[in-house]
């Protein structure tokens, strides 16, 4: 993927070259310099969602550390960045204040900045953001950001001053513009607030958010058996409602953390043995209600007192305990552990994050930055160019009126210094409108070409993952061909076509026809992969034909059919 970084850098350099000797030469040079620096930074992934939706729990579980405070009454009041740190920097906390100062703090300070109290909100208003450095391999190429909950910005923080709310909104707007990708936590049903937030996110992010870089997460599926049993139906419903999302994964971070902790200490298997001593019917009654389990003394056959039962489930949320107990007693230990991990959904989420974000971080970053440049160029083409020309025309009209006045006053009248300056500025800032339009159009064409290739690379990536997950559907030769074609070992045509002995367009066209035939008879997964193979071969053919003379291009009807 490092080739994508180089392609993006070259694109930015070409944009700067196109806009040289235009009124926006220095502005674009400055932006290009900043964007090239941004390409070197880790991919920025924002964890967004309503207050108390489980953002902090998700981050803690993913990083396997209690870094973000969690709880019923907790909500993150500041932007908190989780960055990679070496052994020496591991655990370091740096607070960046709005007055420009930086202070080194302890984790207790971070935890104190979470909650709804006005004193916390006032203090949060003086903080720009907090950085926490962790020696975690996941963070070498990725920075995670825990954001203030969207719900907290609407009903709860309205009780605080408007200035505090505006501060958080401004921080969120700034972050969403900078974020390369988003993990968005939703409730178990698609709420209007979530839709509004994503719409606002698109506006704040200048429409950069799209399915390439947004993953939805249904959190806290442990709230009831109904939600747990229908989690994938809810996921499909949410995905239908939110086309901005790449995919939707249902999870219970709390279940994952609880099971992992119990299993690591050996307490999970001990709990199974403890539960096995309770008669099955009695256990079912005890698990019906928390009050029964904790306090009931009337049930026959239970070998444990209420105090012993309360001690056994101490520190475990009731719905989580219910789920663990019922699963442990319904299956053998190995199967139960596998099912509990499946219910938690974290293995699935981690795989999706690894595939869609961590392994694609450079692709996401390049797409984000080149999209930003596209927005800048469109702003110049649609608005700034017109305003600049209007300003120059107004200056010319002013100079023309002054010249008429000078003619009336006679040759001996000395021109005022202010008017001399205006005439010089007018000559300096004047430009050929059509020539500048052509330069901007050329720059836009270059940027759009790169964005198109980035989108195609994203499709290659998705097809490659499908290929790896369904290898049994393909022959050995097909696997070798498609792995090369989708850019596993490089992105230039020679690397993509390493399975072919030649770059002859007719040979390439024959392979495209092969996959067209496969597409018509293949099942869903292979058909999707075949469609991308057809598309990628067509792109390679167009690139190859551009290097040939027109007569050679026209001499092959096979190639003509393939590219059409």
One-character DSSP codes across 487-543: TTT-SSHHHHTTTSS---HHHHHHHHHHHHHHHHHS-HHHHHHHHHHHHHHHHHHHH
Structure tokens belonging to residue 523: 């099942």
Among 310, 281, 280, 278, which residue's Cα sits nearest to residue 293?
Answer: 310
Give the mean model confidence (pLDDT) for residues 405-418: 60
Give the mean model confidence (pLDDT) for residues 515-524: 92
127-134 vs 214-218, strand pairing mode: unpaired
Three-state SS sequence of 76-88: ECCCEEEEECCCC
Whole-number pLDDT of residue 523:
87
Residue position matching structure tokens 């920025």 = 44
Give the mean model confidence (pLDDT) for residues 235-240: 80
Alpha helices in 277-360 (DSSP H): 280-286, 290-295, 306-312, 318-330, 333-344, 346-353
How many residues are recorded in the chain?
A: 564
In this structure, of 34-43, 147-156, 159-168, the range with the lowest mean pLDDT score is 159-168
DSSP secondary structure letter of residue 434: H
Query: At CB < 8 A and 24+ separation, what contacts does 266-274 make?
Result: 268/324, 268/328, 268/337, 269/333, 271/312, 271/324, 271/325, 271/328, 272/328, 272/329, 272/333, 272/336, 274/312
pLDDT digits (tens, 9 = 90+) for 435-449: 889 999 999 999 999
**How far, CA to CA in Å, does 170 sit from each of 161, 175, 177, 204?**
14, 9, 11, 10
Whole-number pLDDT of residue 246:
75
Whole-number pLDDT of residue 167:
45
**Interior angle at CA 10, CA 8 and CA 16, nearest 5:** 105
In this structure, of 45-49, 142-146, 244-248, 419-423, the range with the lowest mean pLDDT score is 419-423
In this structure, of 30-39, 40-49, 85-94, 465-474, the range with the lowest mean pLDDT score is 40-49
CB atoms within 10 A of CB 245: 22
Q: What sign for the dihedral angle of Cα 179, 181, 185, 188?
A: positive
- Which residues are CB-neighbours of 412 under 8 A, at least 6 positions away? none
Mean of the per-residue pLDDT values for the chain? 80
Percent of the chain residues topping a pLDDT of 70: 76
Cα 13 to Cα 28: distance, rounded to the nearest angstrom: 10
Half-sphere exposure of 551 toward its Cβ, with a 13 Å CA cutoff?
0
Give the mean model confidence (pLDDT) for residues 372-385: 92
Residue 130 Cα to chain centre, angstroms: 20
Confidence of residue 373 (pLDDT cuts 50, 70, 90): very high
Q: What is the pTM of this model?
A: 0.65
Is residue 260's pLDDT more than 70?
Answer: yes
């Amino acid at each position: 993927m490092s080739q994508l970084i180089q392609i993006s850098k070259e694109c930015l350099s070409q944009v700067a070259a196109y806009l040289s000797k235009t009124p926006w030469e220095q502005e674009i040079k400055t932006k290009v310099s900043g964007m090239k620096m941004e390409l070197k930074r880790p991919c920025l992934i924002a964890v967004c969602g309503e207050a108390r939706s489980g953002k902090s729990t998700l981050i803690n579980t993913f990083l396997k550390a209690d870094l973000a405070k969690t709880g019923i009454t907790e909500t993150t009041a500041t932007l908190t960045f989780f960055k990679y740190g070496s052994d020496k920097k591991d655990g370091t906390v740096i607070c960046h204040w709005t007055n420009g100062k930086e202070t080194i703090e302890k984790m207790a300070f971070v935890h104190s900045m979470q909650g709804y109290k006005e004193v916390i909100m006032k203090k949060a208003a003086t903080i720009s953001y907090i950085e926490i450095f962790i020696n975690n391999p996941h963070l070498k190429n990725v920075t995670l950001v825990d954001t203030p909950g969207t719900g907290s910005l609407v009903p709860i923080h309205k009780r605080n001053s408007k200035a505090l709310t505006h501060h958080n909104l401004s921080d969120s707007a700034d972050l969403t513009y900078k974020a390369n990708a988003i993990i968005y936590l939703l409730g178990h049903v698609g709420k209007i607030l979530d839709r509004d937030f994503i719409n606002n996110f698109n506006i704040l992010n200048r429409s950069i958010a799209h399915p390439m870089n947004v993953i939805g997460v249904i959190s806290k599926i442990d709230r009831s058996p109904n939600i747990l049993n229908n989690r994938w139906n809810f996921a499909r419903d949410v995905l239908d409602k939110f086309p901005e999302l790449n995919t939707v994964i249902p999870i219970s971070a709390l279940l994952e953390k609880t099971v992992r902790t119990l299993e690591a200490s050996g307490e999970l298997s001990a709990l199974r043995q403890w539960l096995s001593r309770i008669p099955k019917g009695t256990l079912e009654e005890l698990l019906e209600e928390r009050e029964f389990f904790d306090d009931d003394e009337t049930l026959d056959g239970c070998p444990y007192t209420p105090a012993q039962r309360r001690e056994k489930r101490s520190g475990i949320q009731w719905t989580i305990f219910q789920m663990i107990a019922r699963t442990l007693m319904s299956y053998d230990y190995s199967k139960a552990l596998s099912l509990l991990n499946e219910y938690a959904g974290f293995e699935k989420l981690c795989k999706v994050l690894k595939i869609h974000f961590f392994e694609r971080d450079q692709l996401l970053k390049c797409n984000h930055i080149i999209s930003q440049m596209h927005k800048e160029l469109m702003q110049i083409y649609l608005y700034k160019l017109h305003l600049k020309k209007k300003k120059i025309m107004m200056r010319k009209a002013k100079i023309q009126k002054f010249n008429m006045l000078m003619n009336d006053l006679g040759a001996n009248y000395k021109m005022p210094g202010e008017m001399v300056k205006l005439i010089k500025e007018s000559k300096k800032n004047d430009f050929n409108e059509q020539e500048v339009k052509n330069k901007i159009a050329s720059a836009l064409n270059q940027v759009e070409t790169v964005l198109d290739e980035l989108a195609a690379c994203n499709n290659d990536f998705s097809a490659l993952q499908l290929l790896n997950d369904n290898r049994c559907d393909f022959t050995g030769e097909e696997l070798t061909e498609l792995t090369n074609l989708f850019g596993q070992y490089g992105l230039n045509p020679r690397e993509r076509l390493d399975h072919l002995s030649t770059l002859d367009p007719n040979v390439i066209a024959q392979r495209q026809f092969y996959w067209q035939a496969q597409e018509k008879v293949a099942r869903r997964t292979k058909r999707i992969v075949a469609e991308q193979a057809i598309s990628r071969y067509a792109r390679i053919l167009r690139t190859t034909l551009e290097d040939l003379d027109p007569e050679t291009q026209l001499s092959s009807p096979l190639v003509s059919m393939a590219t059409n």
